[in-house]
């Protein structure tokens, strides 16, 4: 059976979708199936390194990218389906071609954010993108999503005609050696800093984390720091980066809160290796990859009690009430003062991370690829 994997979107992806696509491609190659022939539209590493549309700022650049994306989905990708005689097309970036195809489609819709939080997106872009998603849900389509929470959310907004299956993804494989000098560059000491890694999207609640960290410092006189790694939000509506910068300055935390920007894998691994804890205050997630990354490195995790994060963490994290400044502050203090709790979370987290392997990730796809369920035609 020929399976065509669409990797075009890697030329702009910078967030969890990039991790999803890269790890899916890696797993397909690492764990081949005798009945499946994988065909990649692009080499993952080469497409990830394509700089043509990355960091496009002008309206013309953004328009050029959307036109390129539309041409790919509606013309070039259907041509590749025909050229290779694909039996299955996997689109891991929400959108499948609107054109009629002879093959089955597995379309990955990671979350329901476009419907749940319309205020976070430009109105015209959101309308356009949702229309692309819906037009691609046709013929023999099977929707894949990341958690049971995302499945329930999508069922509220999409037609019941399409089956939705949950496949837990694998976290990023940080196999390269950690940068031994990176912590020195940031003047960080082992186990003396909390971390958060991700974009400054509004839903991530990073200002809440900064405020809670300030409260933690006031009540404990701790010397610990907070490291915020990642880039700005993906749109003006979503971007909390300026707000965080102003808040850090207002609270006088310039020496305590380090905003690093995007980091290399070796730098991220160095941060994970020596962190005291990972803090994930997000108000809405479809999955929550950093939880598993942190647990895999033996780092305890504090996270909001948002449904997807509770689902992924199991009982191996330390949850706080989503959006509660006081509860998050208390959890930072608790983890700092209770060494027994911290050790317990590390042990539980290490075991929990084993449930999200690359093998289980790709096996979920093989199960659907090789055991087709009846869908709308």
Domain-located, residue 31: yes
* pLDDT given at position 64: 83
Looking at residue 57, what is its pLDDT?
62
Whether 75 and 120 share a structural domain: yes
Is residue 178 a contact partner of residue 222, using CB atoms and an 8 Å limit? no
Residues 338 and 201 in one domain: yes
> Domain residues for 266?
182-353
Q: Is 111 part of a structural domain of the chain?
A: yes
Reference 144, options 81, 92, 195; nearest CA is 92
153 and 204 housed in the same domain:
no
- Rounded distance, CA 113 to CA 115, Å? 5
pTM above 0.85, yes or no: yes
User: What integer pLDDT is reported at residue 374 of this predicted model?
Assistant: 41
Quote the pLDDT of residue 56: 52
Q: Are residues 20 and 119 in the same domain?
A: yes
Q: Where are the alpha helices (DSSP H) in the chain?
A: 16-30, 44-48, 59-71, 77-84, 113-116, 123-135, 148-157, 182-185, 206-220, 241-250, 265-274, 289-296, 307-313, 325-337, 339-353, 358-370
pLDDT given for residue 376 in this prediction: 40
- pLDDT value of residue 121: 83
- The full length of the chain comes to 377
- Give, to the nearest 10 degrees, the angle between helix 339-353 and helix 325-337: 100
Question: Can you give the pLDDT at residue 54?
Answer: 65
**What's the pLDDT score for residue 339?**
96
Res 290: pLDDT: 93
CA distance 263 to 312: 24
Q: Are residues 41 and 188 in the same domain?
A: no
What angle separates helix 358-370 from helix 16-30, to the nearest 10 degrees? 80
Whole-number pLDDT of residue 137? 94
Which three-class secondary structure state does DSSP give residue 226? strand
Would you give per-residue pLDDT tens digits along the chain (377 residues)? 999 999 999 988 877 899 999 999 999 999 999 999 999 999 999 998 887 776 656 777 777 888 899 999 999 999 999 999 999 999 999 999 999 999 999 999 999 999 998 988 888 889 999 999 999 998 889 999 999 999 999 999 998 889 999 999 999 877 777 888 999 999 999 999 999 999 899 999 999 999 999 999 999 989 999 999 988 876 677 889 999 999 999 999 999 999 999 898 899 999 999 999 999 999 999 999 999 999 999 999 999 999 999 999 999 999 999 999 999 999 999 999 999 999 999 999 999 999 999 999 999 999 999 986 544 43
In this structure, are 331 and 198 located in the same domain? Answer: yes
Q: Are residues 188 and 142 in the same domain?
A: no
Identify the pLDDT of residue 229: 95
Question: Between the CA of residue 23 and those of 88, 105, 168, what are the distances in Å?
Answer: 19, 20, 12
Assigned domain for 177 exists = no
Note whether 289 and 190 are same-domain residues.
yes
CA angle, residues 170, 159, 287, in degrees to nearest 5: 20
- State whether 274 and 133 are in the same domain: no
Q: How many domains does the chain have?
A: 2
- pLDDT, residue 375, reads 41
d(CA 363, CA 99): 29
165 and 186 together in one domain = no
Residues 158 and 234 in one domain: no
The tally of CA atoms less than 13 A away on the side-chain side of residue 31 is: 13
- Residue 175 domain-assigned (yes or no): no
CATH of the domain at 316: 3.40.50.2000
Whether 376 is in a domain gets the answer no
**Are 117 and 235 a contacting pair, CB within 8 Å?**
no
How far is residue 248 CA from its own chain's centroid? 25
Same structural domain, 136 and 209: no
């Amino acid at each position: 059976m020929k399976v065509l994997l669409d990797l075009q979107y890697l030329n702009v992806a910078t967030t969890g979708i990039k991790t999803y696509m890269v790890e899916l491609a890696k797993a397909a190659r690492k764990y081949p199936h005798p009945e499946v022939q994988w065909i990649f539209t692009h080499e993952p590493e080469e497409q990830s390194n394509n700089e043509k549309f990355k960091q496009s700022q002008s309206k013309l650049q953004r328009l050029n990218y959307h036109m390129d994306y539309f041409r790919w989905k509606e013309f070039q990708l259907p041509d590749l389906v025909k050229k290779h005689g694909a039996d299955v097309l996997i689109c891991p970036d929400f959108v499948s071609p609107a054109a009629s195809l002879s093959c089955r489609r597995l379309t990955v819709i990671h979350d329901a954010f476009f419907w749940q939080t319309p205020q976070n997106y430009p109105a015209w872009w959101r309308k356009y993108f949702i229309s692309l998603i819906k037009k691609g849900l046709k013929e023999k389509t099977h929707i894949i999503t990341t958690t049971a929470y995302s499945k329930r959310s999508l069922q509220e907004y999409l037609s019941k005609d399409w089956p939705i299956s949950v496949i837990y993804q694998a976290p990023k494989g940080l196999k390269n050696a950690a940068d031994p000098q990176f912590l020195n560059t940031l003047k960080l000491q082992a186990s003396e800093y909390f971390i958060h890694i991700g974009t400054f999207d509004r839903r991530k609640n990073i200002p809440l984390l900064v405020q809670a960290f300030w409260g933690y410092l006031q009540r404990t006189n701790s010397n610990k720091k907070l490291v915020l790694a990642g880039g700005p939000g993906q749109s003006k509506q979503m971007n909390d980066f300026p707000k965080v910068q102003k808040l850090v300055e207002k609270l006088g935390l310039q020496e305590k809160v380090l905003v690093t920007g995007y980091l290399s894998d070796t730098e991220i691994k160095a941060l994970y290796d020596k962190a005291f804890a990972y803090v994930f205050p997000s108000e809405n997630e479809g999955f929550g990859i950093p939880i598993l990354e942190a647990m895999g490195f033996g780092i305890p995790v504090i996270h909001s009690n948002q449904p997807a994060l509770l689902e992924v963490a199991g009982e191996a994290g330390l949850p706080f009430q989503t959006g509660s400044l006081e509860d998050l502050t208390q959890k930072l203090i608790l983890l700092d003062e209770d060494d027994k709790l911290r050790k317990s979370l590390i042990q539980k987290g290490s075991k929990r991370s084993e449930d999200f392997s690359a093998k289980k990730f790709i096996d979920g796809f093989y199960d659907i690829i090789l055991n087709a369920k009846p869908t709308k035609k």
